[in-house]
Structure 1
Amino acid sequence: MGTAVALAGLALPLTACGSSGGARPAAGATPPAVRVAASPSATPDGRLDGLSQRWLAKIPAQTRQVVVAYGDGVDAATGKVTLYQKTGSRWIAEASWDSHNGRRGWTPAHHENDLRSPEGVFTLTDAGGVLPDPGSKLPYHQDPAFTPPASWGASHRHDFDYVIAIDYNRVQGSSPLDARRPQGESKGGGIWLHLDPGKGSSACVTLPKAAVKQLLRTLDPAQHPVVVMGDRADLAKA
């Protein structure tokens, strides 16, 4: 949708994913390999892979697009993200990518600076970045204020070229830069899907640039997209 928005007076919440407790890749660190499904494929039973009924019940009935972030372990910073779309009554896995998350893993009770990503089901309503809108279906807020501070180092220069806000402790319908936190500062916030710098983040889920662009061009507000995110074992637990 491509509307540039400047939010004067709102603090920049880059510390959620940046150098304030965030991991800095070593020089020359390489982003994870892209692992993409060769072609869209139905899951064996037409359901979302690896999610127990406990998690499936949290997905809104009207949702027809789901991004699942499967963590490799409760204390692991690595994982895989899969994009699913619903066709009729069946879920189709459109693509998958290697990913990173909070460098200390996952938690069901995220708080500021715990270096863990929050587990849960969250809507995806807003996007933005340093670069111009690549064709996003979500409202897109281009703003130079997304540029990471120079003090973070060259390896983080492009982290926020494109971002998708995860609706954890934020005001929906606003730029991802909006730092308002309805549940309070102690619960953390500023948690995004964004470009992967090669290692774990403070709390965000990070992906290759091509993956974030594909998500921007695919996720459609009319399909009520959500992200389901957490440790793979917990996502499967009844």
Structure 2
Amino acid sequence: MSHRARPHHVAALVLVGGLLLGGCGGGLGGAFGGDGGSSVPTAVDDKAAAGEASADGSGEAARGGLGRAVPDAGESKSRVVRPRQIPALGPKTRAAIPRSSRQAVVVTGDAPDSNRATLVLYERDPVEGWRSVSDPWPAHNALKGWTDEHRQGDLRSPIGVFGLTDAGGRLPDPGTRLPYDQGPAFTLGGVGFEGEPLAGSFDHVVAINYNRKAGTTPLDWTRPLGASRGGGIWIHVDHGGPTQGCVSLPMPRMKELLRWLDPSKRPQVVMGDVSSLGL
């Protein structure tokens, strides 16, 4: 499948416009994986995600198909075998995952104020429900943890369910099916909060659709909620320490994620601390 390269005129404008606005990399600015960026999470009435299934007792129900009514042994009543759910997600979080989505990147923070998290990939079968397709991967998030109302410079990662539609990086496309913008505007220098070098952090990125315009390069500075709500929240290469708002993964995992994401399956990232995701 061919991959579209993004034009770099937006990247150039952002680069010239000034980079030191508090970005996720800690020195590149809000436009570059900064403190938070993409569209607001859309809460979708997702009956499949809420575990509802047909119980009409007809057709495949008699054969005990998943999601159908199955007679209880020795009883005339039926019980419903519900599709599998993503573990530890509460009803509010599950309902925010669009019904049409069949891929989910679940990022679970250790605690509300922790900058360490675990990331697991899930796929959804229309009958059997969600199943994990990766081991737990170690990840970093923002220095001060998580928030359900992200603000520019608060050093917290936004909680919610957000689309994943666009990718890019300093290095060439490693084989993703997402549109990929490659160029030198993703170059980062300086050091992080723990003195670790930031070079290479933006070699590969996936834009998280918090307060951003989907379908554009990750470098697009458009902020539908306004600049005060932050921008530039990405999944990017881990530099060994906390971020300003992004989620970061080791390079091999970052490449694996990029190759796994399939826009036809409407991938979403589900992210927050463990207690918030349980709501």
Structure 1 residue matching 2:14: 3-state secondary structure: coil
- Residue 6 of structure 2 contacts residue 217 of structure 2 at CA under 8 Å; is this kept in 1? no
Which residue of structure 1 lines up, in the alignment, with residue 120 of structure 2?
Answer: 82
The one-letter amino acid paired with 1:137 is: R
**Mapping 1:34-113, distance limit 5 Å:** 46-89=84-127, 90-95=129-134, 96-113=136-153
Structure 1 unaligned blocks of 5 or more: 23-44
**Mapping 1:121-136, distance limit 5 Å:** 121-136=161-176
The alpha-carbon distance between structure 1 residues 120 and 46, as it changes in their structure 2 partners (threshold 3 A), is same
The one-letter amino acid paired with 1:17 is: C
**Mapping 1:172-187, distance limit 5 Å:** 172-187=214-229
Cα RMSD between the aligned structures?
2.2
Structure 2 residue matching 1:217: 3-state secondary structure: helix
Question: How far is the alpha carbon of 1:10 from its aligned partner?
Answer: 3.6
Count of matched residue positions in the alignment of Structure 1 and Structure 2: 216
Which residue of structure 2 lines up, in the alignment, with residue 227 of structure 1?
Answer: 269
Deviations 1:51-81 (A, max 9, x none): 0111000000000000011000000000101
The one-letter amino acid paired with 1:18 is: G
Identical columns (%): 45
Which residue of structure 2 lines up, in the alignment, with residue 18 of structure 1?
Answer: 25
Structure 1 stretch displaced more, 4-13 or 175-184: 4-13
- TM-score normalised by L of structure 2: 0.73
- Structure 1 Cα separation of the partners of residues 161 and 184 of structure 2: 30
**Which runs of structure 1 show a deviation greater than 6 angstroms over 4 or more consecutive aligned residues?**
151-154
The one-letter amino acid paired with 1:213 is: K
Deviations 1:84-118 (A, max 9, x none): 01123321111120111011000000000000000
Which residue of structure 2 lines up, in the alignment, with residue 37 of structure 1?
Answer: none
Question: How far is the alpha carbon of 1:2 from its aligned partner?
Answer: 4.4
| Higher normalized contact order (CA 8 Å, seq sep 6+, divided by chain length) | 1
- Structure 2 Cα separation of the partners of residues 200 and 151 of structure 1: 11
Structure 2 residue matching 1:156: 3-state secondary structure: coil
- Structure 2 Cα separation of the partners of residues 182 and 233 of structure 1: 28
- Residue 109 of structure 1 contacts residue 118 of structure 1 at CA under 8 Å; is this kept in 2? yes
- Residue 167 of structure 2 contacts residue 178 of structure 2 at CA under 8 Å; is this kept in 1? yes
The one-letter amino acid paired with 1:5 is: P
Question: How far is the alpha carbon of 1:229 from its aligned partner?
Answer: 0.5
Structure whose alpha-carbon radius of gyration is higher: 2
Which residue of structure 1 lines up, in the alignment, with residue 63 of structure 2?
Answer: none
The alpha-carbon distance between structure 1 residues 151 and 55, as it changes in their structure 2 partners (threshold 3 A), is closer
Structure 2 unaligned blocks of 5 or more: 30-82
Which residue of structure 1 lines up, in the alignment, with residue 177 of structure 2?
Answer: 137
- Residue 10 of structure 1 contacts residue 179 of structure 1 at CA under 8 Å; is this kept in 2? no
- Structure 2 Cα separation of the partners of residues 135 and 21 of structure 1: 26
- TM-score normalised by L of structure 1: 0.85
- Structure 2 Cα separation of the partners of residues 101 and 154 of structure 1: 15
Deviations 1:166-198 (A, max 9, x none): 001111111101111111110001000001111
Deviations 1:136-180 (A, max 9, x none): 111011011000135778721110010000001111111101111
